[in-house]
Structure 1
Amino acid sequence: MTKNNSLNAGIEFKSGLTWRVIFGLILIALLFIPINIYLNLSTGMSLTTAAVYVIIILLSTITRYSGKPLSRQELFIIYVTTGAAATTIPVYYWLIYRFFFITTPVTYAYKIDGVPLPNLVPDWLCPPLGSLAHLHRTLLQPEWIKPISIITTLFLLSFIADWSLSIMFSYITVELERLDFPFATIDFSLIETLTVQKSEVMRVFMAGFYPGLAYGAILYGGYSLGAQLIPLPWVDLTWFTEKYIPGAIVGIATDPASFAYGLLLPPSISGSLLLGSAMTWILLNHMFTINSSFFPEWAEEYYPGMMISSIYQRSLQRIWISPQIGFALGLAAALIASMRKSIFEAISSGIKMQKRANEYFPSLILALLLYTAGSLGSAILFSLLIPEIPFYMPLLISLVASFMIGALSSHAIGRIGFFPVVPYLWQSIVYLTPYRGLPGWLISPYVCSGAPGSASQAVKVAYLTGTKPKDYFKAWIIAAILNLVFGLLIVDSFWRLAPIPSNIYPASLIYWPLYATNDSLFITRQIKLDPLLILSSGAFSFTVFFAGSLLQKINIPFSPIAFVTGCYTLPTSSITIFLGSLIGHYVIGRYVRKEEWIKIRGVFVAGIFAGVGVFLGLGVSMILIAKSAWVWPW
């Protein structure tokens, strides 16, 4: 047991990684990886945070009745690593997609220099047509050794880079900069409620649980029975607004997560988020629709009656890919410039081997070395496989751009709770090269997707629960290995059971042809990117960050990170978040003292998620039962 005197005096850090936790993670992986994969193939959805709440509640209840309840630290470790172990789609899922890519008629319509795309797929991506691998639906045969080896190696190198980058930025944002992490209170409140179970805390928790349970019954119960009562994931209002603002995306999210998150955010942040969202997806989308001179391909493709999903997909491809890449890189550059002192201090802490930086944190110097090894190794392997793309391109994206994205994700989640995922970043890099091949589009070197953000929040919760961050990072490794090992066997089992896509897995019949079409459009360069637009968008977000900082100094409530995040967030979510923020700040504030509400709101929101999660778990079970009839022969 060790004491931390740097951030919160009096915190006693205890170990949370025990044999019970490891056994629990193995059990979770075995039970929930199959559910997650089947849910994805059948409905297009995956297990969400609400489902994780169900898992934690079940484990906590079982161990409590056994007479040996999980400690707060043990429950925390299971909670934060369940996503890596069970709710992440295994990488081998995409091997079967590649098999589909070379066999579907969709991709034969696209060619490079007159050669159909499937004929350009190398054997280390997927066994070619005519291979013995096509006689049997299984990954466990010699012809798949190369693809499995390549995808496993790339995954491990990327994981090493993500893991080490997360150590560095969690130390910077939690220990040095001490960011708020507004949504960390939800995680802590659930863990605290399940382990302590004080009567006053339980009352607040149940006050959120019952409404969440009722809403979850309405939202997911009808869906699982085939009679949807509330549209999921949003109520589409474009049928009405297109008469006045064609091309704009207008709707209301029906998933309770957006509203619940809004309860925790001040109006200054949720309002900045809504401003960026409305400017991008309502105002500018409308302007570019009625003025065809800006983006003629989008203006030509738009037609009255397009729904939100279609407007989003097509306008993203025709308008917003280039600006969104620029927004993210510009904001990341501004953040790194503003936090340069913290970065140097973190490196200095590691070099000096300060006790406080290494007693409960993994070594910062080791993390820096591993990040360099993982990202550099990923770039080298990619260049060996695809030498046609200059080596400096994967090197820049893995070593430099990923570091910037790590900074952006950790600060975005630390300040506003959200991270704007950068779309098609690697495809955009390939687009800027003269490369005229196929495999360089279908695989990539290490590209940070935002893991340091969620890891930094997990470390913040570790501080709140008194758990050694070292244990979290060790458990993350175990969870990733479980997902890798069990994922291969389970994905293979589903493929042996029935062809993918097939009517047994109906969502794959819808989404996989869309994935193949989208990949083919990129490979044949029919999706256009504009380097000048990327640069100008980056300059815009860079300027917005420092302008926003100046506004905050003169007490104008504007959050530049929330504003730029809004440029990625559909109005369906940003409107609901803003409504939740207004209700939490002004309506509930009339009945509960502000100080009291700030204290209990995390528990209340945790109750909402737990209630929704219980019925989501029941809904998934009902879907599995409904789909379980044997349909042999196909």
Structure 2
Amino acid sequence: MYDDKELKEYRDLLKPPDHFEEGFNWKTIVGAIFIGFLMMPGSMYLQLVIGTGIGPAARWVTIILFAEIAKRAYSDLKQQEIFLLYYMAGAAMASPFQGLLWNQYLVQSDAARMLGLTEFIPSWIAPQPESIAILERTFFHQDWLIPILLLVGSQVIQRIDQFGLGYALFRITSDVEKLPFPMAPVGALGTIALAESRDEKIKSWKWRVFSIGGVIGLAFGAVYILLPAVSGLIFTEPIRLIPIPWVELTRHTEGILPAVATGIQLDLGLIFLGMVLPFWAVIGGLIGLLITIIVNPMLYQNGILHSWHQGMGTVETIFANNFDFYMSFGIGLGLSIGLIGLWQVIKSFKGSSNMERGSLKDLFNPPPGRGDFDFRIAIAIYIFSTLSYVVLCTILVPTFPWIFFLIYGFVYTPVISYITARMEGIAGQFVSLPLVREASFIAGAKYFGYQGIEIWYAPIPIHNYGEATVNFRQIELTGTSLRGVIKAEFIVFPVVMIASLLFSQFIWRLAPIPSSSYPYAQELWHLQALNTLLMQSSTMEGNSLFYQALNGNVVFSGMGFGVITYAILTFFGLPILLIYGIVRGLGQSTPHGLILEVLGALLGRFFFLKRYGKQWRQYAPVLLAGFSCGMGLTGMFAMGLTLILKSLGSTAF
């Protein structure tokens, strides 16, 4: 695994610098305000309309704008300033109040009523359906006070928490064990692309590639996002030349492919995404999809997929198949992935003797200028944040055994975090043990007498901080002092919270969420609610639908399939990323976007990689960022028109 050829291509793309700077100044503060009040609303709108936010576009638009302003002021942006803008844009795009928009839908959803769970959803995540706050679609009501306070408190703990165990593990795996973190340079390269623009040769190709992607994104976004938005303001129904979120074909193919969800998602961004993703992971997804297409009709003929019937669309088909077979099979596959991850970690310890290592002295003597703080402070932060979660959960769910919260925070979390940190450091792979959280909830209900679903919404201290080590490695590779990142966090947090509340309120008041004004949410949220609440019914008294759907034999079949597939891939020397892709393709999500992803992967591998060589690895992320930027600008323009024109005809607040 450590010698995987594809990972080797990423490992040496970038070396750590010798000089570090904070990069925090007035530009950073203005950038935080710009991101929160201009970028975030566009991202929120796109999430509801097409299912993807602005993402990288927000980062690139911010960087480009500030770079151009600096240029006209006869100045330039340092690499560290650019990274902080990039970092803050990523933090701001995760709008906290979008979770409350989901909660307001959940409490009044058809899925909750169908499963008989509406009355059991706790009032501290959202008011009840008959509340004035829900009926009038407003967050500015006393019924939202507790959910909002709980959200803000959890966000404060999270912001502090990221500098706890995640940072401590970075010091252990990077400074002491000297692991290479092969995927960190991929993210770091994108952030420093514009900082290198003073070199005309580098500037020429990066701006050219970015501009090409941007123009394609603007053109496609005009048809995919802007046209439906503008026509919906003029006519009774929006004009959609390209269906959102996909072209539905399930009812047309049900005679040939019973119990198979078919269709195609015509989002051009999926092609660019396929060019960036690891090739064998995408191909694995295709193999998983083909297996699903072949196996589902056989399972239907043998009475296993018995809930499916003709006339079902994609959402109904996927939920019915998950209920009958794929939920249990997916649990088994997930368990096999967990076992494989543990086995790989054991192998990594055996192979680590061949790698350059530091000593425990490096743990307390980090490289000068990097902005590190004492390792013991990181451990203290971890203990404080974990105890905060434990106390909060004990207050919110007093009937659930509190010993579970301590085990989550002080046993499971550090173990799985260290395992993941090593795997990220060696092979760029994230490791998770599936269903630990769910299994513990069910055990609490079965053996300790807990009944209810409040525990599913509590901020329990199960975290995997291993992934955070990659972020700290990216900070190091860009030459940014950690002190600058900490200062940026203090600035961006209040901006994000205020902007998220205001624009969530504004978008909700314009139209119910979900509704025809937000087609992706209207199409997909019902499926997501069904799957979420089906699992939550497992801790209710009586024979819940979850236990009806769970099949032990199918779980073990999925586990056996995953382990055997891994053994075969290892025996023939095939890429391990295949199995992760196969898991993704085996009916666990909507498959309609995979076709264009595969097309992008094939174009990248067999056309662009041959034409441009290994430098294509650097071109592809910049091209995707340019496309996302174009799409994001179009989405922001469409949202601006929608908000302005609709607010003229109705009171927004």
Q: Which residue of structure 2 lines up, in the alignment, with residue 335 of structure 1?
A: 341
Are 2:424 and 2:466, in contact at CA under 8 Å, matched by a contact in 1? no
Are 1:37 and 1:46, in contact at CA under 8 Å, matched by a contact in 2? yes
Are 1:328 and 1:422, in contact at CA under 8 Å, matched by a contact in 2? yes
Q: Which residue of structure 2 lines up, in the alignment, with residue 210 of structure 1?
A: 215
Q: Which residue of structure 2 lines up, in the alignment, with residue 256 of structure 1?
A: 268
Q: Which residue of structure 2 lines up, in the alignment, with residue 482 of structure 1?
A: 495
2:19 is paired with a residue of what secondary structure? strand
Q: Which residue of structure 2 lines up, in the alignment, with residue 152 of structure 1?
A: 152
2-side partners of 1:358 and 1:286: how far apart? Answer: 61
2-side partners of 1:221 and 1:408: how far apart? Answer: 45
Q: Mind listing any 5+ residue stretches in structure 1 that lack a counterpart? A: 1-6, 294-298
Out of 574, 578, 581, the residue aligned to residue 601 of structure 2 is 581
Q: How does 1:516-595 map to 2 (within 5 A)?
A: 521=534, 522-523=536-537, 525-528=544-547, 530=550, 532=552, 536=556, 539-540=559-560, 543=563, 547=567, 550-551=570-571, 555-559=573-577, 560-567=579-586, 570-590=590-610, 592-595=611-614
2-side partners of 1:420 and 1:570: how far apart? Answer: 23
Could you tell which deviates more after superposition, 255-264 or 499-508? Answer: 499-508
Change (3 A) 1:215 1:49: same
Out of 243, 263, 278, the residue aligned to residue 255 of structure 2 is 243
Residue 21 of structure 1 deviates from its aligned partner by: 0.7
Out of 300, 308, 312, the residue aligned to residue 314 of structure 2 is 308
CA deviation vs aligned residue, 1:480-512 (integer Å, no higher than 9, x gap): 4432344345545666x5685597976677777
Q: How does 1:201-600 map to 2 (within 5 A)?
A: 201-225=206-230, 226-265=238-277, 267-279=279-291, 281-293=292-304, 299-328=305-334, 330-332=336-338, 334-336=340-342, 338-339=344-345, 349=360, 352-356=363-367, 359-399=370-410, 402=413, 426=437, 429-432=440-443, 433-434=445-446, 435-448=450-463, 453=467, 455-469=468-482, 471-472=484-485, 474-476=487-489, 478-491=491-504, 521=534, 522-523=536-537, 525-528=544-547, 530=550, 532=552, 536=556, 539-540=559-560, 543=563, 547=567, 550-551=570-571, 555-559=573-577, 560-567=579-586, 570-590=590-610, 592-600=611-619
Are 2:288 and 2:585, in contact at CA under 8 Å, matched by a contact in 1? yes
Are 1:409 and 1:419, in contact at CA under 8 Å, matched by a contact in 2? yes
Out of 179, 182, 192, the residue aligned to residue 181 of structure 2 is 179
Amino acid at match of 1:572: H
2-side partners of 1:555 and 1:502: how far apart? Answer: 47
Are 2:206 and 2:622, in contact at CA under 8 Å, matched by a contact in 1? yes
Q: Which residue of structure 2 lines up, in the alignment, with residue 296 of structure 1?
A: none
TM-score by length of 1: 0.77
Change (3 A) 1:381 1:165: same
1-side partners of 2:426 and 2:268: how far apart? Answer: 21
CA deviation vs aligned residue, 1:9-50 (integer Å, no higher than 9, x gap): 654322223232123113321334444445556776644333
Q: Which residue of structure 2 lines up, in the alignment, with residue 88 of structure 1?
A: 94
1:12 is paired with a residue of what secondary structure? coil
Q: Mind listing any 5+ residue stretches in structure 2 that lack a counterpart? A: 1-13, 231-237
Amino acid at match of 2:63: I
Residue 178 of structure 1 deviates from its aligned partner by: 1.6
CA deviation vs aligned residue, 1:383-417 (integer Å, no higher than 9, x gap): 33213222344444455555576568778888998
Could you tell which deviates more after superposition, 94-103 or 414-423? Answer: 414-423
2-side partners of 1:498 and 1:236: how far apart? Answer: 28
1-side partners of 2:522 and 2:209: how far apart? Answer: 44
Amino acid at match of 2:78: S
TM-score by length of 2: 0.75
Out of 12, 18, 23, the residue aligned to residue 19 of structure 2 is 12
Amino acid at match of 2:221: G
1:300 is paired with a residue of what secondary structure? coil
Residue 166 of structure 1 deviates from its aligned partner by: 3.7
Matched positions, count:
609
CA deviation vs aligned residue, 1:217-257 (integer Å, no higher than 9, x gap): 33323333332222334444434543333223444443334
Aligned-CA RMSD value: 4.7
Amino acid at match of 1:606: A
Residue 158 of structure 1 deviates from its aligned partner by: 4.3
1-side partners of 2:618 and 2:515: how far apart? Answer: 49
Change (3 A) 1:474 1:172: farther
2-side partners of 1:32 and 1:25: how far apart? Answer: 10
Change (3 A) 1:512 1:254: closer
